[in-house]
Amino acid sequence: MNALILGMHKFYPSLLVFCLLAVFQVSAQSSEKFQIHSHNDYLQTVPFWTAYSAGASSIEVDLILKDGKLMAAHEAASIDPKRTIESLYLDPISEGIESGVISSINFHLLVDLKTEAYASLEVLLESMKDYEYLLYGAKNPAGLKLIISGNRPKPEDYGNYPEWMLFDYQSMELTNDLPWDKIGMVSLSFRQFSIWNGKGRIVEEQRVKIQNFIDLVHSFDKSVRFWGSPDSKSAWKAFHEMGEDYINTDHPIEAADYLSKLGTNIYQNTSKHEVYMPKFEVDGADVPVENVILMIGDGNGLAQISSALFSNDNQLNLTQLKNMGLIKTQAADDFTTDSAAGATAYATGEKTNNRAIGVDPDGKPLANLPDILDGYGFSSGIITTDQLTGATPASFYAHHPERDDSDQIAAYLPKSKLDLFIGGGGDTFESELGSLKSAGFTLLESLEQTEADRLGYFAAKGSLPKKLDGRGDYLLNSTVFAFDFFDQKDAPFFLIVEAANIDSGGHANSTSTIVSEMLDFDEVIGKVIQYVDANPNTLLIITADHETGGVSIPQGDIPSSTVELAYHSDDHTGIMVPVFAYGAHSGDFRGVYENSAVFHKIMNLVKQYHQK
């Protein structure tokens, strides 16, 4: 890649610009949010354009005066005659403006002089005469500024230089009598304040010392930068939070990408809920299992659960439970499962191919839990925040090799043994309404109890909104409604409750969606645990079909209910997912096992206590 770029730079300079902007494009950010200083930018494979494409506001070039020219190098031994401030910076800037690639100059050059200041500046002034049209001035307020660092003239001489030339002040002694109108920024070595290496958290005493200096510089209405500072995500975030104006980095693309996503990756929860304390009176007891409730958090891995925990006063209903295990999620044809294969394993006890709904790897229909349990006198129901043709709910009633064939999947609902369904996607079932009614379903306009044996409720014509977009307590109210419905039937029941949008948050790398959807799910979990305590012959199983996003939690703050999530992917991963159980025989779900084993554990208990 580097060889290709260098070859393009030699023969196709204009093409190079456009390719770099495409390859290195990051989220657009305003300078008020963060500013990057591209340290020793001339050492990048492609100087200037790498920093520019990252949105760097400050770009550093070291200059050595040799034979009357200013060479871009740190020491004399590394001088290359072709690498000058003109060739690496001034000419590309000029070409960029002429071609329209650079629409405005929203950056400055920090010129670090490695040779004697006055002689070097004399040559620099002469060199800049060919680029006066680029430079800042009263007639060009949007022009390019140069900030002189390294070897500099005496502060009392700053005023002898043109208005486009400012200076980098490097002292902790800040007084009102300094020539502030000619000071472009204040820079100091980070080691004057701290020995922190950018891992973990900076010692508080050192952090306060840095913060105080930043505040002091800001009191003079000037910008601050630290050189020799740690160059990591933890460091970038810490400096950003402290208000460093130009965050020093040798990795401008990575730093800009990380900092641009902080607003999405960090979430502070302001809607906390109380946690119900389980009674544990029959938890794990070998008592008859009359009801089975399977709750599936789509995409809900350990990091997603943890993020909700830390955002809710360090406690969840889910994390009160004692019986837990880990589930391996692989599909029949792929290491990383999708929701169709994952849910089919739960519904049928057989692993299948990704995208397949209720069929085996050869496309043959598999009997699912609602169909099988009907033979044991069970009623069954599905509640989801997804559309009812979504992969997870559909796996419990349909048999089709392609999850996206919504119309074909919808046709299976009237043929199912379900007694209750609640979810979105009503428009997909327009042609099935007659069949649903003929099958004995009463289709509700709202969640109001009725004497009917079979009920269906399309909660939305299409997709339901996310929790943060106004879904309200839909999932909680639907679950309470289902309990009332099944209690009236006076028969054992099997209920699936899916929180579908945790997965959506993982795909979108949206921390706010993950946390809010998981917290919504946890409120429902608390209500279900209460139901189990009141109905001790009930088994509750809570798990996920897979993890989504490759989520980790690099930072957080429990007192303020704030978490930062990081993402390895925008897709599913193959990591094991937790399984929690409560109530009758909940201890049977401890251990590490395949997702298909959940079906068989349920069926073993059904066969133990029920007859066909």
Q: Which of 399, 423, 425 is nearest to 411 (CA)?
A: 399
507 is in an annotated binding site: yes
Specify the DSSP element, H or E, that contains 557.
strand 551-557
545 is in an annotated binding site: yes
Residue 311 annotated to the active site: no
Using CA atoms, how far apart are residues 361 and 341, in angstroms rounded to an integer?
Answer: 10
Residue with tokens 């559909």: 394
Structural Rg of the chain based on CA atoms: 32
Which one is catalytic: 223, 339, 561, 586?
339
E strand map for 39-107: 58-66, 69-72
Residue type, 550: G
DSSP 72: E
Tell me the three state secondary structure of residue 57. coil
Phi, psi of 433 (to 5 degrees): -60, -40
Residue type, 353: N
Instruction: Count the neighbouring beta carbons within 10 Å of the beta carbon of residue 118.
Output: 13
Residue with tokens 């079979």: 454
Pairing of strands 145-150, 108-113: parallel
Instruction: Count the neighbouring beta carbons within 10 Å of the beta carbon of residue 71.
Output: 24
Using CA atoms, how far apart are residues 385 and 407, in angstroms rounded to an integer?
Answer: 19
Using CA atoms, how far apart are residues 488 and 178, in angstroms rounded to an integer?
Answer: 83
- Cβ atoms of 239 and 229 within 8 Å: the answer is yes
Q: Which of 311, 308, 283 is nearest to 297 (CA)?
A: 308
392 is in an annotated binding site: yes
546 is in an annotated binding site: yes
Using CA atoms, how far apart are residues 571 and 546, in angstroms rounded to an integer?
Answer: 10
Residue type, 97: I
181 is in an annotated binding site: no
Residue type, 403: R
Q: Which residues contact 122 (CB under 8 A, 6 or more apart)?
A: none
498 is in an annotated binding site: yes
C-alpha to C-alpha distances, 327 to 72, 533, 552, 582, 596, nearest whole angstrom: 57, 25, 19, 16, 9
**Sign (positive/negative) of CA torsion 122, 125, 129, 130?**
positive
- Cβ atoms of 186 and 150 within 8 Å: the answer is no
Using CA atoms, how far apart are residues 29 and 50, in angstroms rounded to an integer?
Answer: 16
Residues that are catalytic: 339
Q: Which residues fall in the annotated binding site for Zn(2+)?
A: 298, 392, 503, 507, 545-546
Q: Which residues fall in the annotated binding site for Mg(2+)?
A: 298, 498
Q: Which residues fall in the annotated binding site?
A: 298, 392, 498, 503, 507, 545-546
